[in-house]
Amino acid sequence: MVLTLLGVAVSAVFVAPIAAAVLTSLKSETEAAEIPPHWLPKVWTVQAWKALWETGNVSNWFVNSLVVSVLVTAIVLSVAALAGYGFARTEFRGKGVLMGVVMAGLMVSPAVLGVPLFTTVQQMGMVDTYWGMILPQCAPAAMVYILYKFFQGIPKELEEAAFIDGAGRWRVFFTIILPLSRPSLAAVGIFTFISSWNNFLWPYMVTNNPDLMTMPNGIATVMNSYGIQWAQLMAGGLMAGLPLIIVFVFFQRQIVAGVAHTGLAGQ
């Protein structure tokens, strides 16, 4: 009974902000800005949702976010899997130094790299382009390390048996290693997608083109010279968060399994 009540209390803490956002989005802008605020709308209206859809470019923002997040996820999975497997299974000169560079990448805040990354992107002529938003997000130090630890836990005997049968390194990687790594690859892919979808700072820095805005940047446009449109801001936040909620609902088992498998491999 006590654990049940505790679970309900913890759940309420997480559900309360979402409920507040939903209720605020169903108020008028005047009512949403009232101090002190109140939970239930005096007059229920979907005007904020209509205004955001009509004045903003929500469908374009959504497509841009989807394109950027999917491509970032695909590139990160490819790079992290190949790099992680290379570190786990091959010996080469400078391996320790390169692994140290990867570990150092875990200790550097992305915000610190903003200016040098922007300068590089500008010199390459990729400002206001999809690739300018995508490529700088594809340096997956954490994801390389996660898959590196997982690959270390896969028995080498499986690969040795395949080598004896005449399989090459690439065939072993694609037919043995990757199928065994599906839980961890799924977790890495989901975390990468969510991180890219929520990324506000880098797309904001690298593009001023309204046609290239992602969901977080598009929603920020409701904060104009007249002040913050709170009802529209809540509606936009719910629109942006809906895909992530869907990902968690449908892929929560893969997330848990991936984290569990990675943890076991690292022991």
Please tell me the total count of domains within the chain.
1
In whole angstroms, give the CA distance from residue 185 to residue 177: 11
pLDDT reported for residue 262: 56
Instruction: Report residue 70 as tokens.
Output: 């999917």
210-266 confidence digits (pLDDT tens): 889 999 888 887 766 557 788 888 888 888 888 888 877 777 776 666 666 555 444
Instruction: Report residue 185 as tokens.
Output: 């690859």
pLDDT reported for residue 264: 44
Whichever domain contains 113, its CATH number is 1.10.3720.10
Check: CB of residue 214 under 8 Å from CB of residue 133: yes
- Domain for residue 27, yes or no? no
pLDDT reported for residue 55: 74
- Domain for residue 106, yes or no? yes
The secondary structure of the chain as a DSSP string is -HHHHHHHHHHHHHHHHHHHHHHHHTS-HHHHT-SS--SS-SS---HHHHHHHHHS-HHHHHHHHHHHHHHHHHHHHHHHHHHHHHHHH---TTHHHHHHHHHHHHTS-GGGGHHHHHHHHHHTT-TTSHHHHHGGG---HHHHHHHHHHHHTS-HHHHHHHHHTT--HHHHIIIIIHHHTHHHHHHHHHHHHHHHHH--HHHHHH---GGG--HHHHHHTTEETTEE-HHHHHHHHHHHHHHHHHHHHHHHHHHHHHHHHHHHHT-
- Domain for residue 30, yes or no? no
Domain, as residue range, for 226: 40-265
Check: CB of residue 214 under 8 Å from CB of residue 68: yes
- Domain for residue 244, yes or no? yes
- Domain for residue 8, yes or no? no
Check: CB of residue 54 under 8 Å from CB of residue 73: no
How many other C-beta atoms are found inside a 10 Å radius of the C-beta of residue 97? 8
**Rounded to two decimals, what is the model's pTM?**
0.83
Instruction: Report residue 151 as tokens.
Output: 């690959």
Instruction: Report residue 159: phi and psi, to 5°.
Output: -70, -40
- Domain for residue 202, yes or no? yes
| Residues facing residue 224 across a β-bridge | 227
- Domain for residue 29, yes or no? no
pLDDT reported for residue 41: 86
Q: Give pLDDT < 50 ranges for the chain.
A: 264-267
In whole angstroms, give the CA distance from residue 51 to residue 219: 12
- Domain for residue 65, yes or no? yes
